[in-house]
Amino acid sequence: MNAPHAPFARATLRPLPAAMLEALRARFGERCSTTSAVREQHGRDESTYPVTPPDAVVFCESTGDVAALVALAAAHAVPVIAFGIGSSLEGHLLAVQGGVSIDLSRMNAIVAVNAEDLTVTVQAGVTREQLNREIKDTGLFFPIDPGANATLGGMAATRASGTNAVRYGTMKENVLGLTVVTAAGEIIRTGTRARKSSAGYDLTRLFVGSEGTLGVMTEITLKLYPLPEAVSAAICHFPSIDAAVRTTIQVIQIGVPIARCELLDANAIRGVNRHSQLSLRESPMLLMEFHGSPAGVQEQAQTVQDIAREVGGESFEWTSTPEERTRLWTARHQAYFAALQMRPGCRSLSTDTCVPISKLAENINQSVIEAEAAGLPYWIIGHVGDGNFHLSYLLDPNDPVETATAERLSGQMVHRAIRLGGTCTGEHGIGLHKIGYLLEETGAGAVEQMRLIKRALDPKNIMNPGKIFSM
């Protein structure tokens, strides 16, 4: 069931020395677990890979805990894998070489809210929904929304983005600084709370997106934004995916500062309708949101409406109340689980290509043709304002032919995206699954620069080994 591009062999397993386990138990007591239930829970994510558990799980409660754990791991050359909430999609969390899972979910404190500076510092185990709940009274919010209620540590590690990225950027743009435990078990700080800096190498951006392979992020300083004075959401149905995408392309090209611009295909809407008791028309739809002043929001929406109408967009509908807006976005956020329910017992293989905006129609249209021809059940959602979309196949995990077909189609999509000047992954990361695609995308020379960095910062290859590239 492995992806064709990322075979992994338990042959490379590095056993956990008894002395290490003893030291872990001495340091962490009950917080070090080796029960199979806990280990199995930490050896999986939302990918289609089989569960690949670590040898032990340690529940850390402070940066000091993590530093002590990594120092021990370094001394014994044992792999460590940072674990937030398990919502990654490319096999990031699988203990392919064994080792210890560092569970950060108890590190869920908001360390400091600096509302007057529009910054917040959180521990890595804080989830995005928790963050927005806890800062609600400040009048500020954190916009990055990958769909899942992921931890901010996990989101930073995969350079996540999601529905608001078209306006507010990705984790790359919104992390100001980090506390990191290095592969030697030392604690460093990167960045500052200033909004920009030219002070040396951008270690912050190096750790963001490194998928736990260079160090463990334990605290994260983020940008916040004032809650917009006015928020308005709208849905618009289109006669075809192509028409929806062409509308999006024009909106981006003329520079409308749209906050969210999500595509759902008819299949996705079918799932959402059933799961969330909605009765949306089951034709391609854009779900949009506008942020700004009341007049600004109206102006943006009018512009988009005019564009949509030109390409056959029908029934531009406004959500008139916050409740209705929340209901729509909640449905959108549950689209993943809604889709899974369309085929009981299935697993979802999600693609994640991202291309320059002018190539988006070609990329999506061709992908749909291929999916239809293959006859596998699939659904599409897309952060189309970024040129990013997810065509996900719903697979019978017991049917190797389905998986092989989906992987073949996924590969075709990646080759096309790269040919169109884009990337194999807009926001999910490489993990195990896209190791070969990274090489195809960026070339052996660039991957070799990554390997040199990895070897320099993690000479014993203990930080989430086997991910991003083979060593």
Give residues 203-232 in contact with a second copy (rule: CB under 8 A). 203, 205-206, 208-210, 214, 225-226, 228
Q: For a second copy, which residue of 97, 182, 267, 351 counts as binding (CB under 8 A)?
A: 182
Residue 186 interacts with a second copy (CB under 8 A)? yes
SS3 180: strand
From CA 391, how far away is CA 364, in angstroms rounded?
9
> Contact region for a second copy (CB under 8 A) — 72-80, 191-199, 265-273, 336-344?
191-199
Q: For a second copy, which residue of 29, 255, 344, 375 counts as binding (CB under 8 A)?
A: 255
Tell the smallest beta-carbon distance from residue 258 to a second copy (Å). 13
Q: For a second copy, which residue of 77, 118, 231, 368 counts as binding (CB under 8 A)?
A: 118
For 54, the token pair is: 């670590």
Residue 434 interacts with a second copy (CB under 8 A)? yes
- Between vectors from CA 40 to CA 37 and to CA 42, what angle results, nearest 5°? 115
Tell the smallest beta-carbon distance from residue 430 to a second copy (Å). 6
Residue 442 interacts with a second copy (CB under 8 A)? yes
Q: For a second copy, which residue of 30, 201, 375, 401 counts as binding (CB under 8 A)?
A: 201
Sort strands 80-83 and 100-103 into parallel, antiparallel or unpaired: parallel
Contact predicate 77/17, CB 8 Å: no
Residue whose pair of structure tokens reads 């293989």 in the numeric block = 349
Tell the smallest beta-carbon distance from residue 161 to a second copy (Å). 6
Contact predicate 171/161, CB 8 Å: yes
Contact predicate 271/341, CB 8 Å: yes
Which helix (H) or strand (E) segment holds residue 174: the answer is helix 171-174
Residue 141 interacts with a second copy (CB under 8 A)? no
Q: 200 vs 375, which CB is nearer to a second copy?
A: 200
**Residues between 84 and 103 with contacts to a second copy, criterion CB under 8 A:** none
Q: 251 vs 331, which CB is nearer to a second copy?
A: 251
From CA 3, how far away is CA 453, in angstroms rounded?
26
Secondary structure letter of residue 89 according to DSSP: S
Selection from 96, 37, 84, 18 nearest residue 464 by Cα: 96
Residue whose pair of structure tokens reads 């109340």 in the numeric block = 321
> Contact region for a second copy (CB under 8 A) — 102-110, 364-372, 390-398, 438-446?
438-446
Residue 172 interacts with a second copy (CB under 8 A)? yes
Residue 449 interacts with a second copy (CB under 8 A)? yes
Residue 366 interacts with a second copy (CB under 8 A)? no
For 282, the token pair is: 């089951």
Q: For a second copy, which residue of 116, 277, 375, 401 counts as binding (CB under 8 A)?
A: 116
From CA 75, how far away is CA 299, in angstroms rounded?
61
Sort strands 230-237 and 100-103 into parallel, antiparallel or unpaired: unpaired
**Residues between 67 and 86 with contacts to a second copy, criterion CB under 8 A:** none
Q: 51 vs 199, which CB is nearer to a second copy?
A: 199
Contact predicate 1/400, CB 8 Å: yes
Sort strands 378-383 and 388-395 into parallel, antiparallel or unpaired: antiparallel
**Residues between 385 and 414 with contacts to a second copy, criterion CB under 8 A:** 386-388
Q: For a second copy, which residue of 1, 17, 40, 169 counts as binding (CB under 8 A)?
A: 169
Q: 121 vs 127, which CB is nearer to a second copy?
A: 121
For 9, the token pair is: 């062999």
> Contact region for a second copy (CB under 8 A) — 7-15, 34-42, 95-103, 416-424?
416-424
Q: 346 vs 462, which CB is nearer to a second copy?
A: 462
Give the up-direction half-sphere exposure of residue 277: CA atoms within 13 A in the CB hemisphere: 0
Selection from 223, 236, 232, 205 nearest residue 384 by Cα: 236
Rg (CA), the chain: 22
> Contact region for a second copy (CB under 8 A) — 180-188, 310-318, 330-338, 400-408?
180-188
Residue 446 interacts with a second copy (CB under 8 A)? yes
For 413, the token pair is: 């999509």
**Residues between 18 and 57 with contacts to a second copy, criterion CB under 8 A:** none
Q: For a second copy, which residue of 453, 460, 461, 470 counts as binding (CB under 8 A)?
A: 453
Q: For a second copy, which residue of 77, 111, 187, 278 counts as binding (CB under 8 A)?
A: 187
Residue 163 interacts with a second copy (CB under 8 A)? no
First to last CA, the chain: 22
**Residues between 285 and 344 with contacts to a second copy, criterion CB under 8 A:** 292-293, 295-296, 299
Strand partners, 177: 191, 221
How big is the chain, counted in residues? 471
